Amino acid sequence: FNERGKMYSKEEVRAIQVGPGGLFFTGDGTGELRVWKWLAQGTKA
């Protein structure tokens, strides 16, 4: 696999869910929920 980025969390990520429009959600061991968005390959944030 080619690396496309990094996800950060305070503790181990325990759940990942894919949503609409390129969104995905992660939940970690602290109970924190984060919302992420995929960017097209080669796109800078």
> What distances in angstroms separate CA 12 from CA 1, 30, 36, 40, one per listed residue?
21, 9, 16, 26
pTM to 2 decimal places: 0.70
pLDDT at 2: 83
Judged by phi (left if over 0) then psi (alpha if -120 to 50, else beta), residue 5 lies in left
For 17-28, what is each residue's pLDDT tens digit? 999 999 999 999
For 1-45, what is each residue's pLDDT tens digit? 788 778 888 999 999 999 999 999 999 999 999 999 988 776 666
Give the end-to-end CA distance of the chain in Å, rounded to a whole number. 21
